[in-house]
Structure 1
Protein backbone atom coordinates (compact mmCIF):
# COMPACT_ATOMS: atom_id res chain seq x y z
CA UNK A 1 0.00 0.00 0.00
CA UNK A 2 1.42 3.34 -1.05
CA UNK A 3 1.21 6.09 1.55
CA UNK A 4 -0.77 8.96 0.05
CA UNK A 5 -0.41 11.42 2.87
CA UNK A 6 2.79 12.26 4.68
CA UNK A 7 2.15 14.41 7.73
CA UNK A 8 5.64 15.88 7.37
CA UNK A 9 4.92 17.03 3.80
CA UNK A 10 1.54 18.66 4.41
CA UNK A 11 1.27 22.38 3.70
CA UNK A 12 1.34 24.84 6.58
CA UNK A 13 -2.12 25.14 8.10
CA UNK A 14 -3.35 21.81 6.70
CA UNK A 15 -3.39 20.15 10.09
CA UNK A 16 -5.21 23.17 11.57
CA UNK A 17 -8.09 22.63 9.15
CA UNK A 18 -8.06 18.91 9.78
CA UNK A 19 -8.15 19.42 13.54
CA UNK A 20 -11.00 21.93 13.31
CA UNK A 21 -12.97 19.50 11.16
CA UNK A 22 -12.31 16.75 13.71
CA UNK A 23 -13.47 19.00 16.55
CA UNK A 24 -16.65 19.84 14.67
CA UNK A 25 -17.40 16.17 13.96
CA UNK A 26 -16.67 15.18 17.56
CA UNK A 27 -19.24 17.70 18.80
CA UNK A 28 -21.83 16.70 16.19
CA UNK A 29 -24.67 14.22 16.58
CA UNK A 30 -22.75 11.54 14.64
CA UNK A 31 -22.28 8.42 16.73
CA UNK A 32 -18.69 8.44 17.97
CA UNK A 33 -18.23 4.73 17.34
CA UNK A 34 -19.36 5.21 13.72
CA UNK A 35 -17.13 8.25 13.37
CA UNK A 36 -14.06 6.23 14.42
CA UNK A 37 -15.09 3.42 12.08
CA UNK A 38 -15.19 5.90 9.19
CA UNK A 39 -11.90 7.51 10.21
CA UNK A 40 -10.25 4.10 10.41
CA UNK A 41 -11.56 3.13 6.94
CA UNK A 42 -10.38 6.38 5.34
CA UNK A 43 -6.99 5.91 6.99
CA UNK A 44 -6.82 2.43 5.42
CA UNK A 45 -7.56 3.90 2.01
CA UNK A 46 -5.01 6.69 2.44
CA UNK A 47 -2.32 4.40 3.81
CA UNK A 48 -1.55 6.55 6.83
CA UNK A 49 0.07 4.33 9.48
CA UNK A 50 -0.06 7.02 12.16
CA UNK A 51 -3.78 7.61 11.54
CA UNK A 52 -4.54 3.87 11.44
CA UNK A 53 -2.92 3.37 14.81
CA UNK A 54 -4.67 6.37 16.33
CA UNK A 55 -8.14 5.57 14.98
CA UNK A 56 -7.80 1.86 15.80
CA UNK A 57 -7.06 2.69 19.44
CA UNK A 58 -9.90 5.24 19.56
CA UNK A 59 -12.37 2.74 18.10
CA UNK A 60 -11.33 -0.07 20.44
CA UNK A 61 -11.57 2.34 23.40
CA UNK A 62 -15.20 3.06 22.44
CA UNK A 63 -16.04 -0.65 22.30
CA UNK A 64 -15.51 -1.42 18.62
CA UNK A 65 -14.56 -5.04 17.95
CA UNK A 66 -11.36 -6.15 16.28
CA UNK A 67 -13.39 -8.34 13.94
CA UNK A 68 -15.29 -5.35 12.55
CA UNK A 69 -12.10 -3.28 12.19
CA UNK A 70 -10.25 -6.11 10.43
CA UNK A 71 -13.24 -6.65 8.13
CA UNK A 72 -13.50 -3.03 6.99
CA UNK A 73 -11.78 -3.54 3.62
CA UNK A 74 -14.63 -5.90 2.68
CA UNK A 75 -17.46 -3.98 4.36
CA UNK A 76 -19.87 -4.13 1.36
CA UNK A 77 -20.02 -7.92 1.54
CA UNK A 78 -19.60 -8.23 5.29
CA UNK A 79 -22.51 -9.08 7.60
CA UNK A 80 -20.92 -7.17 10.49
CA UNK A 81 -22.19 -3.70 9.53
CA UNK A 82 -25.67 -2.20 9.58
CA UNK A 83 -27.22 -0.58 6.53
CA UNK A 84 -26.65 2.83 8.12
CA UNK A 85 -22.97 2.06 8.72
CA UNK A 86 -22.61 0.81 5.15
CA UNK A 87 -24.20 4.01 3.84
CA UNK A 88 -21.79 6.11 5.92
CA UNK A 89 -18.79 4.04 4.75
CA UNK A 90 -19.93 4.34 1.12
CA UNK A 91 -20.27 8.12 1.51
CA UNK A 92 -16.80 8.38 3.11
CA UNK A 93 -15.20 6.33 0.33
CA UNK A 94 -16.95 8.37 -2.37
CA UNK A 95 -15.84 11.62 -0.75
CA UNK A 96 -12.28 10.32 -0.53
CA UNK A 97 -12.42 9.28 -4.22
CA UNK A 98 -13.65 12.76 -5.17
CA UNK A 99 -10.76 14.37 -3.31
CA UNK A 100 -8.29 11.94 -4.91
CA UNK A 101 -9.66 12.79 -8.37
CA UNK A 102 -9.42 16.51 -7.58
CA UNK A 103 -5.82 16.14 -6.39
CA UNK A 104 -5.00 14.14 -9.54
CA UNK A 105 -6.54 16.87 -11.72
CA UNK A 106 -4.66 19.64 -9.91
CA UNK A 107 -1.39 17.70 -10.11
CA UNK A 108 -1.91 17.17 -13.85
CA UNK A 109 -2.74 20.84 -14.40
CA UNK A 110 0.35 21.86 -12.44
CA UNK A 111 2.55 19.50 -14.48
CA UNK A 112 1.09 20.89 -17.71
CA UNK A 113 1.82 24.44 -16.51
CA UNK A 114 5.42 23.49 -15.69
CA UNK A 115 5.89 21.81 -19.07
CA UNK A 116 4.56 24.84 -20.93
CA UNK A 117 6.69 27.19 -18.84
CA UNK A 118 9.77 25.07 -19.64
CA UNK A 119 8.92 25.07 -23.36
CA UNK A 120 8.53 28.87 -23.34
CA UNK A 121 11.80 29.25 -21.46
CA UNK A 122 13.63 27.01 -23.95
CA UNK A 123 12.11 28.90 -26.88
CA UNK A 124 13.19 32.23 -25.36
CA UNK A 125 16.74 30.94 -24.84
CA UNK A 126 16.82 29.61 -28.40
CA UNK A 127 15.54 32.94 -29.76
CA UNK A 128 18.15 34.82 -27.72
CA UNK A 129 20.90 32.54 -29.05
CA UNK A 130 19.71 33.00 -32.64
CA UNK A 131 19.60 36.76 -32.18
CA UNK A 132 23.09 36.74 -30.68
CA UNK A 133 24.40 34.61 -33.55
CA UNK A 134 22.75 36.90 -36.10
CA UNK A 135 24.21 39.98 -34.42
CA UNK A 136 27.68 38.43 -34.38
CA UNK A 137 27.49 37.89 -38.12
CA UNK A 138 26.63 41.54 -38.87
CA UNK A 139 29.29 44.23 -39.49
CA UNK A 140 29.89 46.74 -36.69
CA UNK A 141 28.13 49.53 -38.58
CA UNK A 142 25.01 47.44 -39.40
CA UNK A 143 23.04 49.30 -36.77
CA UNK A 144 23.60 52.58 -38.66
CA UNK A 145 21.64 51.44 -41.71
Structure 2
Protein backbone atom coordinates (compact mmCIF):
# COMPACT_ATOMS: atom_id res chain seq x y z
CA UNK A 1 0.00 0.00 0.00
CA UNK A 2 2.85 2.36 0.83
CA UNK A 3 4.47 1.83 -2.57
CA UNK A 4 1.18 2.68 -4.30
CA UNK A 5 0.89 5.95 -2.38
CA UNK A 6 4.51 6.82 -3.11
CA UNK A 7 3.91 6.15 -6.79
CA UNK A 8 0.80 8.35 -6.76
CA UNK A 9 2.71 11.14 -5.02
CA UNK A 10 5.55 11.00 -7.54
CA UNK A 11 3.04 11.12 -10.39
CA UNK A 12 1.25 14.13 -8.87
CA UNK A 13 4.48 16.03 -8.20
CA UNK A 14 5.76 15.21 -11.65
CA UNK A 15 2.68 16.80 -13.18
CA UNK A 16 3.48 20.03 -11.32
CA UNK A 17 7.23 20.09 -11.96
CA UNK A 18 6.82 19.32 -15.67
CA UNK A 19 4.80 22.47 -16.41
CA UNK A 20 7.63 24.15 -18.41
CA UNK A 21 7.96 20.96 -20.48
CA UNK A 22 4.20 20.82 -20.96
CA UNK A 23 4.21 24.43 -22.13
CA UNK A 24 6.89 23.59 -24.71
CA UNK A 25 4.85 20.58 -25.90
CA UNK A 26 1.73 22.73 -26.29
CA UNK A 27 3.48 25.46 -28.26
CA UNK A 28 5.18 22.87 -30.49
CA UNK A 29 2.31 20.46 -31.12
CA UNK A 30 -0.73 22.68 -30.52
CA UNK A 31 -2.57 24.75 -33.09
CA UNK A 32 -3.09 28.32 -31.89
CA UNK A 33 -5.77 28.92 -34.54
CA UNK A 34 -7.99 26.23 -33.02
CA UNK A 35 -9.78 26.57 -29.70
CA UNK A 36 -8.01 25.68 -26.48
CA UNK A 37 -10.37 22.76 -25.86
CA UNK A 38 -10.70 21.58 -29.47
CA UNK A 39 -9.87 17.95 -30.20
CA UNK A 40 -6.86 19.13 -32.22
CA UNK A 41 -5.31 20.63 -29.06
CA UNK A 42 -6.71 18.40 -26.31
CA UNK A 43 -5.60 15.03 -27.70
CA UNK A 44 -1.88 15.94 -28.11
CA UNK A 45 -1.96 17.68 -24.71
CA UNK A 46 -3.35 14.62 -22.91
CA UNK A 47 -1.11 12.15 -24.76
CA UNK A 48 2.12 14.13 -24.33
CA UNK A 49 1.47 14.99 -20.68
CA UNK A 50 0.63 11.38 -19.91
CA UNK A 51 3.78 10.16 -21.64
CA UNK A 52 6.01 12.67 -19.85
CA UNK A 53 4.52 11.80 -16.43
CA UNK A 54 4.87 8.09 -17.17
CA UNK A 55 8.49 8.53 -18.27
CA UNK A 56 9.36 10.55 -15.16
CA UNK A 57 7.61 8.01 -12.92
CA UNK A 58 9.50 5.12 -14.51
CA UNK A 59 12.76 7.05 -14.12
CA UNK A 60 12.00 7.69 -10.43
CA UNK A 61 11.12 4.02 -9.90
CA UNK A 62 14.38 2.94 -11.55
CA UNK A 63 16.44 4.78 -8.97
CA UNK A 64 16.56 2.87 -5.70
CA UNK A 65 18.12 5.93 -4.09
CA UNK A 66 15.45 8.35 -5.34
CA UNK A 67 14.60 9.52 -1.78
CA UNK A 68 18.28 10.31 -1.27
CA UNK A 69 18.34 12.44 -4.41
CA UNK A 70 15.20 14.23 -3.25
CA UNK A 71 16.91 14.85 0.12
CA UNK A 72 19.84 16.39 -1.75
CA UNK A 73 17.49 18.65 -3.72
CA UNK A 74 15.75 19.56 -0.48
CA UNK A 75 19.01 20.41 1.24
CA UNK A 76 20.33 22.60 -1.56
CA UNK A 77 17.02 23.82 -3.00
CA UNK A 78 14.13 23.89 -0.57
CA UNK A 79 15.90 24.96 2.62
CA UNK A 80 17.58 28.01 1.04
CA UNK A 81 14.41 29.05 -0.79
CA UNK A 82 12.15 28.57 2.23
CA UNK A 83 14.28 29.58 5.21
CA UNK A 84 17.38 31.51 4.18
CA UNK A 85 16.49 33.79 1.27
CA UNK A 86 13.24 35.18 2.75
CA UNK A 87 15.10 36.26 5.90
CA UNK A 88 17.95 37.79 3.96
CA UNK A 89 15.58 39.52 1.52
CA UNK A 90 13.47 40.86 4.39
CA UNK A 91 16.53 42.38 6.04
CA UNK A 92 17.75 43.79 2.72
CA UNK A 93 14.35 45.20 1.71
CA UNK A 94 13.04 46.66 4.96
CA UNK A 95 16.44 47.35 6.53
CA UNK A 96 15.42 46.85 10.17
CA UNK A 97 17.72 48.39 12.74
CA UNK A 98 20.40 46.12 14.11
CA UNK A 99 18.98 46.88 17.54
CA UNK A 100 15.62 45.23 16.77
CA UNK A 101 14.79 41.66 17.57
CA UNK A 102 13.43 41.12 14.04
CA UNK A 103 16.86 41.68 12.51
CA UNK A 104 18.54 39.20 14.84
CA UNK A 105 15.79 36.57 14.61
CA UNK A 106 16.07 36.68 10.82
CA UNK A 107 19.84 36.32 10.99
CA UNK A 108 19.65 33.44 13.48
CA UNK A 109 17.11 31.62 11.28
CA UNK A 110 19.28 32.16 8.20
CA UNK A 111 22.43 31.00 10.00
CA UNK A 112 20.78 27.92 11.52
CA UNK A 113 19.26 27.05 8.16
CA UNK A 114 22.65 27.42 6.49
CA UNK A 115 24.04 24.88 8.94
CA UNK A 116 21.14 22.57 8.07
CA UNK A 117 21.97 22.95 4.36
CA UNK A 118 25.53 21.80 4.97
CA UNK A 119 24.52 18.92 7.25
CA UNK A 120 21.68 17.84 4.97
CA UNK A 121 23.86 18.03 1.88
CA UNK A 122 26.61 15.94 3.45
CA UNK A 123 24.13 13.38 4.80
CA UNK A 124 22.26 13.01 1.52
CA UNK A 125 25.46 12.67 -0.53
CA UNK A 126 26.70 10.06 1.95
CA UNK A 127 23.45 8.14 1.64
CA UNK A 128 23.57 8.30 -2.18
CA UNK A 129 27.10 6.85 -2.11
CA UNK A 130 26.01 4.07 0.25
CA UNK A 131 22.94 3.20 -1.83
CA UNK A 132 24.83 3.42 -5.13
CA UNK A 133 27.12 0.59 -4.03
CA UNK A 134 24.18 -1.81 -3.94
CA UNK A 135 22.35 -0.38 -6.96
CA UNK A 136 19.79 -2.65 -8.63
CA UNK A 137 17.39 -1.49 -11.31
CA UNK A 138 13.84 -1.26 -9.91
CA UNK A 139 15.15 -2.42 -6.51
CA UNK A 140 12.29 -0.95 -4.48
CA UNK A 141 9.42 -2.21 -6.60
Q: TM-score, normalised by structure 2?
A: 0.28
Q: Tell me which structure has the larger Cα radius of gyration.
A: 1
Q: TM-score, normalised by structure 1?
A: 0.27
